[in-house]
């Protein structure tokens, strides 16, 4: 890992067993079944950067997010943050210091906040848990600073979560994430439960905080407009694998993988460019029994026999036999 990589994810895998109970298998027959939610993905994030993962529901984005922050142990591979492994060789003291610098913002701000606690208690919890500040007066002052930082009033600390709107609750969640002096924040669909106008406010707040505090984001989303606004680099996931990694501008101006093109062509053409668009076809396959070869091949108009037999490797930022063989130009959908 180089010094420029603050987050380093290597060959990350997660397999879930989804078999019937043992007795049912004995009586009814049938083998054990496994679901590959994440199948060997690798990416790096530089300090102060926003890296986004996009893809349809079921592609494995949220599973990656939970493994990166340590909420879910990986079945294989490694996650290193600031050169400290999240699982394995690091000492417990070293990992505990690292965990203080990592936080997560969840999709539903109401479900992620304790409804029985006042907002001041919610925001103060990380401060107390990591013993960052001594004295209730100083803790209260810090909570007031954090609420002001996210666009709320310090007096709002006396309220309960149900007294806020969805956007305000997400501001509380952001304040709680910042309370531990976090440097790396994983955002799992942080605006998908909000109105469009409120989404813009939260996204602008997150960008302002990133510029002010030097935050590093892993941003999970299925909304390409949101990703375009937030991310400097984007990884496109399909059925547990990365099919394309590119800079934000390059991905939208010159997509390579047919799946990326399909996602972009599904966005309404408000500029009415009359450009020929690739229609969305089929649905994401069952991850318990995925297609052989390239898992996108049943939905891809550029499939050949090699695509159905051989898994493409991620080379030059794209995992596609058609691109690697020169059958498909990266600029064709620009």
* Banded pLDDT at 125 (limits 50, 70, 90): very high
In a domain, 297, yes or no: yes
DSSP assigned state of 83: T
DSSP assigned state of 101: T
Task: Give the CATH number of the domain where residue 54 resides.
Answer: 3.40.50.300
Q: What is the pLDDT of residue 110?
A: 83
Task: Quick: pLDDT tens for 133-160.
Answer: 999 999 999 999 999 999 999 999 999 9
Domain with 22, as residue range(s), is 5-101+183-324
Round the average pLDDT of the chain to a whole number and report it: 89
* Banded pLDDT at 99 (limits 50, 70, 90): confident
User: At a CB cut-off of 8 Å and minimum separation 6, what does 289 contact?
Assistant: none
Task: Quick: pLDDT tens for 238-278.
Answer: 999 999 999 988 998 889 999 998 888 876 655 545 556 66
Q: What is the pLDDT of residue 1?
A: 39
In a domain, 332, yes or no: no
Q: Which of 245, 265, 257, 334 has its CA nearest to residue 297?
A: 257
In a domain, 173, yes or no: no
In a domain, 122, yes or no: no
Q: Terminal CA-to-CA distance of the chain, rounded, Å?
A: 34
Number of structural domains in the chain:
1
Task: Quick: pLDDT tens for 50-62.
Answer: 999 999 888 999 9
* Structural contact between residues 37 and 63, judged by C-beta atoms closer than 8 angstroms: yes
Query: What is the Cα–Cα distance from 310 to 165, expressed in whole angstroms?
Result: 50
CA dihedral 72, 74, 78, 82 (to 10 degrees): 0
CB-side neighbour CA atoms (13 Å) of 282: 12
In a domain, 161, yes or no: no
* Banded pLDDT at 2 (limits 50, 70, 90): very low
Backbone conformation region of residue 287, classed left if phi is above 0, alpha if psi is from -120 to 50, else beta = alpha
In a domain, 253, yes or no: yes
Percent of the chain scoring above 90 in pLDDT: 62
Query: What is the Cα–Cα distance from 220 to 227, expressed in whole angstroms?
Result: 8
Query: What is the Cα–Cα distance from 314 to 189, expressed in whole angstroms?
Result: 25
Largest interatomic CA distance in the chain: 69
Neighbours of 137 (CB within 10 A): 9
Q: Kindly tell me if the per-residue pLDDT of 192 is higher than 70.
A: yes
In a domain, 245, yes or no: yes
User: At a CB cut-off of 8 Å and minimum separation 6, what does 71 contact?
Assistant: 104
Q: Which residue has the tokens 């993988």?
A: 257
Burial of 157 (0-12, 13-18, 19+ CB in 10 A): buried
Q: Which of 92, 86, 52 has its CA nearest to residue 70?
A: 86
Q: What does pTM read for this prediction?
A: 0.89
In a domain, 53, yes or no: yes
User: At a CB cut-off of 8 Å and minimum separation 6, what does 184 contact?
Assistant: 6, 7, 81, 101, 102, 103, 215, 216, 217, 218
């Amino acid at each position: 890992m180089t010094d420029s990589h603050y987050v380093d994810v290597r060959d990350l895998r997660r397999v879930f067993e989804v078999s019937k109970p043992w007795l049912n298998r004995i009586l009814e027959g049938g083998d054990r079944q496994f679901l590959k939610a994440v199948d060997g993905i690798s990416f790096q994030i530089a300090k102060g950067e926003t890296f986004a993962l996009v893809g349809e529901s079921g592609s494995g984005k949220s599973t990656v997010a939970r493994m990166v922050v340590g909420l879910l142990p990986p079945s294989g591979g490694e996650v290193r943050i600031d050169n400290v492994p999240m699982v394995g060789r690091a000492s417990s003291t070293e990992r505990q210091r690292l965990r203080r610098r990592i936080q997560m913002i969840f999709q539903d701000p109401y479900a992620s906040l304790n409804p029985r606690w006042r907002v001041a208690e919610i925001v103060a919890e990380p401060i107390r848990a990591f013993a960052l500040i001594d004295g209730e007066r100083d803790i209260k002052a810090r909570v007031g600073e954090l609420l002001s930082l996210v666009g709320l009033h310090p007096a709002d600390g006396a309220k309960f979560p149900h007294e806020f709107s969805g956007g305000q609750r997400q501001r509380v969640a952001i304040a709680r994430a910042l309370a531990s002096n976090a440097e790396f924040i994983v955002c799992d669909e942080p605006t998908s439960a909000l109105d469009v106008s409120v989404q813009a406010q939260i996204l602008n707040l997150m960008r302002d905080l990133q510029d002010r505090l030097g935050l590093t984001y892993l941003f999970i989303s299925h909304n390409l407009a949101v990703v375009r606004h937030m991310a400097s680099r984007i990884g496109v996931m399909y059925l547990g694998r990365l099919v394309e990694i590119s800079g934000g501008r390059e991905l939208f101006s010159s997509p390579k993988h047919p799946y990326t093109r399909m996602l972009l062509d599904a966005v309404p053409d408000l500029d009415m460019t009359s450009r020929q668009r690739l229609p969305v076809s089929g649905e994401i396959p069952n991850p318990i029994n995925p297609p052989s070869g390239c898992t996108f091949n049943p939905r891809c108009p550029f499939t050949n026999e090699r695509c159905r037999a051989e898994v493409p490797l991620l080379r030059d930022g794209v995992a596609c036999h058609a691109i690697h063989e020169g059958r498909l130009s990266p600029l064709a959908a620009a």
